[in-house]
Structure 1
Amino acid sequence: MRITEKAMDIGEPSRAETIRSETDAFADSRTSMPPNLRHIRLLIACADKGSLTAAAASLGVTQPAASQALKRLESQFGTVLIERDGMRLTAAGDIVVRRSRRLCDFIRRACGQGLKSELPRIEARLTWSHLRAVSTFAENGSFSAAARMLGQSEPAVQGAARQAEAIMGMPLFDGAGRAISLNSRGLWAARWFGLALAEFGNGMDEIAEARGEYAGRVSIGTLPLTRTFLVPDVVATLARRHPQARFEVTEGSYEALLADLERGRIDILVGAMRADLPSKTLQQERLFDFELRVVGRADHPLVTNDGITTSDLAKFPWIVARRGTPSRETFRTMAASFQSPALESVETGSLNVIRGILLKSDHLALLSLHQIRYEMEAGFLAVLDHELPHSRRSVGATLRRHWLPTALQSEFLDVLREISRDLS
């Protein structure tokens, strides 16, 4: 379905651009079109002032227009948000207001402290299209890729991003053409715009949960150590409990997944913990400890040897983890004791690649027993008799400090902790 966006009844700027239905860009919300941001601010004003008339006056609109806006908002959320006799918030209204306050706070943070005096004007003009254009560019790295992600034309997405620049009164991009990129202000804005978009989706999921419908989403970023045993176990457990729930599992480098976490693209990052987090807005929670072991194929020449030495290990090629990872650091420490340079033949974070190479060659790798439990049970891979000193590491969950999880997301964390206790 195609629609043409029109000016909202309490002042959102009109756009002539005909775009695809908002349903595609907001699939998580399960609504035909996201609420007008000014309507959301009207609801907050109603909660604060206890009067629709006073709320309308604070936004500079008429009471009839505000009444129509509130009805439309309730229609889009699919529930009554305010009891008209006494202007009391319903249970669903409490959820929407709580999420809306956070959403609006994220938008204000995107604008930065330097624009504090201009915030009322900026807030009144920014729309979902502006937020999506900037945040999706940050996620995909170009307007063409962002347009494909949103199902819109490239000029429409670029136009919305440029409108956001004009409204905010500051450049968000550097360069031109295919060399265009977000500058530091643009990256900052994209991060908080992304969190605002995620907050809306979580609000819709929370309303459904209040009705007993667990059909929301949990988005998990996974690092190599937890891709084959921990995260799949948690997802399988929750999928049995809540068949309508959706679980989005994303793989990638630590740096890329950390950026996704800060932008709200993922909810939780699970994997080997780092000594220092690069952002004060994030926090780590330890789940369990593990040790790395030297692993090769079941009929590797060293499998039958007892007391394997570093000299023995130095004779074979190695599959090593990416630079900057805890596993790579453990390998570097071990290889320092080799009498000859280590044969670092392959560098990868993909367990599928590691498994394939180990099974078909004399390569060795450092892996945890959790990562190869199925291969060991099937008799494909084996652990060599060589202890690695100081190889003990921790697996944990990295979360946003200001994150307000839905019931489904909280349950995911609970099951994650429960299964992790059994692995300790």
Structure 2
Amino acid sequence: MELWDLNLRHLYAAMEICDKGSISAAADAVNLTQPAITQGLVKLETQLGQPLFERHTDGMTPTPAATIFAPRIDAALVNIGSSRVTMAQMRAFLSVAEHGSYPTASAMSGLAQPSLHRSVANLSIALKRKLLERRGKGMALTAQGRSLARSFRLARAELAAGLSELDALKGKETGTISIGAMPLCRARLLPKAVAEFHKAYPESEVRIVEGSHAELIEPLRDGELDILIGALRDPAPGDDVQQRSLFEDHPVIIGRYDHPLRDQRSDLDKLASYPWIIAAPDTPLRMRWEHMFESAGIDCPDVPIECGSVITIRQILLESDFLTLLSPDQVAVELEANWLSTIGGPPKGIHRNIGATTRTGWMPTAMQRDFMQILDRASIT
């Protein structure tokens, strides 16, 4: 079923029935009549394709489906933050927020522009907040709008996870896992883990978004990504995310196979005399590279080219005397084919922790927990 077909008031009522054990007690909490709640609950159970409660003369008890779905509903409603919000308003606002204008939002969502305008305007009135402001031909989020968009995205992620868990309860191992992939994990760790995961869950969808930490951390916070895999940050980027180490990586100095320093004893002075291509400042690898020279009292070499793309770095190395610092896993094929070569021994003390970053309080589905276990195994083999 479509997530947007759900009715937030029906979900709120289901939560209250779980908590209070009867429709009559829930009616007072959600300000609906008992017949309205009964009718809404029947519709919700029909949409989900399974009962949420067992009916008894003295009340109602949650089924396994309700036990699974209730924490997701609760987390979604906490993020939404107001009982005055409707699903139509939430959908319309996210569509405009994500597409930047009413015409584009209409084209991408299939919702008519008047409906979008009406829903967003009513949401702004209900919450007493200015959410959007016109910028040229488009719309931009206000500060309050950006905060609300993040909350709504997290609510959407919780409900989507809940629907996936209900499908699993019916024997349908479906669902989506969205992964932010930073450069290092793309060479060996992530492909190995995803291949094993797909064998176990052939009907699931794996969505991989490549980028730098700076590009991926906000989508993780927004609930658009479930996991971010790559070099961990020290210190962690905030209390709203948590990091877990998978393995320690030891980068090496790389140059073309016939680089002038290949067969020489390469001290730091000689290494500093060559140009380098390396990741941007403030990335873990760049900071460790800078420390390698600074701790020896040597000025850092010139970095005429800053780049985090291994494909681009490889091609530049092949055609020049540039040097770089990379994990051997990232250029294993090139090293084996004698296109590139390690220069000197492994730099002392140069290492970085590679791991997984998730939102604090993230509740993975069973499928997502299995992926994390597979990721753990892939990191040690």
Is TM more than 0.5 here? yes
The aligned residue for residue 83 of structure 2 is 123
Q: Deviations over 1:149-186 (max 9, x none)?
A: 54556665455444322221012345533575333322
Shift of 1:315: 4.0
**Preserved CA contact (<8 Å) 1:32 1:76:** no
The aligned residue for residue 239 of structure 2 is 280
The 5 A counterparts of 1:12-411 are 30-31=1-2, 33-85=4-56, 86-108=59-81, 122-124=82-84, 126-135=85-94, 139=98, 149-152=108-111, 157=116, 159-174=118-133, 176-178=135-137, 180-303=139-262, 305-334=263-292, 336=294, 342-411=301-370
Shift of 1:359: 2.9
Q: Deviations over 1:346-374 (max 9, x none)?
A: 22222222223223333221101122223
**Preserved CA contact (<8 Å) 1:33 1:76:** no
Shift of 1:234: 0.8
% same residue = 35
Shift of 1:311: 3.6
**Preserved CA contact (<8 Å) 1:173 1:181:** yes
The size of the alignment, in residue pairs, is 378
Amino acid of the residue matched to residue 323 of structure 1? Answer: P
Q: Deviations over 1:17-48 (max 9, x none)?
A: xxxxxxxxxxxxx4385211111111112112
Larger mean CA deviation between 275-284 and 341-350 belongs to 341-350
Structure 1 290/315 Cα, relative in aligned 2: closer, same or farther at 3 Å?
Answer: same
SS at match of 2:250: strand
Q: Structure 1, unaligned stretches of length 5 or more?
A: 1-29, 109-121
Counterpart CA distance in 2 for 1:318 and 1:137 is 44
Please, what TM-score do these two structures have when normalized by structure 2? Answer: 0.90
Please, what TM-score do these two structures have when normalized by structure 1? Answer: 0.81
Amino acid of the residue matched to residue 302 of structure 1? Answer: L
Larger mean CA deviation between 347-356 and 93-102 belongs to 347-356
Q: Structure 2, unaligned stretches of length 5 or more?
A: none
Larger mean CA deviation between 372-381 and 154-163 belongs to 154-163
Counterpart CA distance in 2 for 1:234 and 1:306 is 38
Counterpart CA distance in 1 for 2:109 and 2:319 is 42
Counterpart CA distance in 2 for 1:369 and 1:256 is 24
Q: What root-mean-square deviation, in Å, do the aligned CA atoms of Structure 1 and Structure 2 show?
A: 2.6
Amino acid of the residue matched to residue 105 of structure 1? Answer: V
Shift of 1:222: 1.3
Counterpart CA distance in 1 for 2:101 and 2:301 is 40
Amino acid of the residue matched to residue 377 of structure 1? Answer: E
**Preserved CA contact (<8 Å) 2:292 2:350:** no
Larger mean CA deviation between 317-326 and 380-389 belongs to 380-389
